[in-house]
Amino acid sequence: MKNIYSTLFVALLAVTTGSQAYSQANPQSIKICRGSAVVLKANPTAADVAGGYVWYRDGAVIGGTNDSLVITQPGKYTLASVSSGGCNSTISSALEVTYKELIAVDDRATAHSGTLVNIPVTKNDIAECGSIDFQTLSMSVLPKNGSAKVSATEPGVFSYTPNASFVGTDSFTYTVYDVAGNVSNVAKVLVEVTSATPLALDLLAFNVSKVKETQAAINWQVIEDNTEATFTIERSSNATSFEPIGTLKANTSSISQKADYSFTDTKPLKGTNYYRLKISDNNGKVNYSNVKMLSFSSSAAVAVYPNPATTTAYVKVDGALPKLIQLLDLNGRVLQAIIPVAETVAVDMNQVSGGLYLIRVTGQDDKAEIFKIEKR
């Protein structure tokens, strides 16, 4: 928390729980378990605090003139110190107190068509206020392409069976409670289902990597056995709904030999990209690789040219259009403001005299890039 100055006082908050002090001297937020008590402690640097203190929660006075306060409820807590003359200091910055939550983490698993698989889903869940109550594990959304139920013999496990004819990605969601009664968020379980009948072609490796931070290189290796097969490269933004972005035919001249294939995604999505390989043979069998992930910057690439400029400067954006483009002087005064409607925007430099200026490009996320430009 920031030290809040007035002419009389500096008011500070320190927080302890039991006899254990928090390592952060002036925390802005802490989390507590439901039912637990936390002591807030005032540590003023001013000499005159003879009038005590005033404590607030969410802007309302909650009493007490002592230098400490026991709390059990969440809220935004502040305080002011009082001098012997009855003058209050300015109110301190807020300390936000929230409850610790039970966090259910998404899971991934693999299965074969029509074959039961046990999926432990609570091993990676985070329970900070007590152990997980496995008896409360329940599904929120059922799988569309199979069946799932809580295992009767293994705690924290779902038994999932995909439909016999299904190949692809299936999913279901769940919640669980801890022994303190906290309910988790809804977590998703993604299951990659492959054919129970093996293809005549074996996938040995499937990998993705970045090329110059702007493209995705997709490589795979198979053992071929004179099989007419088709490779379909699929991409998704959410690891659930995949769309094809390219296809390649297998080399049918190879017999029991390793063969390498590659594909380049020249325009990956901004943010997270999920890739998988779909393999289809001439007998109608389909199989999928594991899903691989790559992330690309969601910020657009911006170029300002020419520099120096005489009559016009251009701002070119490769990606999402920014919210605003501004021309400023070196004192930060806005001279022009343009809402872009195209990837390339012209900034009129005829309106300014020779010298140095700034072009500020503000993205849709309100983050700004600033470029220095010279007018000649």
84 Rama class: left (phi>0) / alpha (psi -120 to 50) / beta: alpha
3.40.50.150, 3.50.50.60, 2.60.40.10, 1.10.760.10: CATH of 202-296? 2.60.40.10
Q: What is the mean pLDDT of residues 263-290?
A: 86
Which pLDDT band holds residue 310 (cuts at 50, 70, 90)? very high
Fold designation for 301-375: Immunoglobulin-like (2.60.40)
- Check whether the bond before 308 is cis (ω within 30° of 0): yes
CATH 2.170.190.11 assigned to domain 4-99? The reply is: no
Q: How far apart are CA 299 and CA 323, in angstroms?
A: 12
Residue type present at position 370: I
Domain ranges of the chain: 4-99, 107-194, 202-296, 301-375
DSSP class per residue in 229-292? EEEEEEEESSSSS-EEEEEEE--TT-EEEEEEEEEEESSPPSEEEEEEEEEEETTS-EEEPPPE
- Quick check: helix, strand or coil at residue 185? coil
Topology at the third CATH level for domain 107-194: Immunoglobulin-like (2.60.40)
- pLDDT tens digits for range 98-119: 888 888 989 989 898 889 999 9
Residues 6+ apart with CB under 8 A from 19: none
Contacts of 316 (CB under 8 A, 6+ apart): 302, 303, 304, 305, 343, 344, 345
For 311-366, the pLDDT digits (tens) are: 999 999 877 778 899 999 988 888 998 988 888 999 999 989 999 999 999 887 77
- Got the DSSP string for 42-83? E---SS--TTEEEEEETTEEEE--SSEEEE-S-EEEEEEEE-
Model confidence over 180-235: pLDDT tens digits?
A: 888 999 999 999 888 776 666 788 899 999 987 778 999 999 887 656 789 999 99
194 touches 251 (CB < 8 A): no
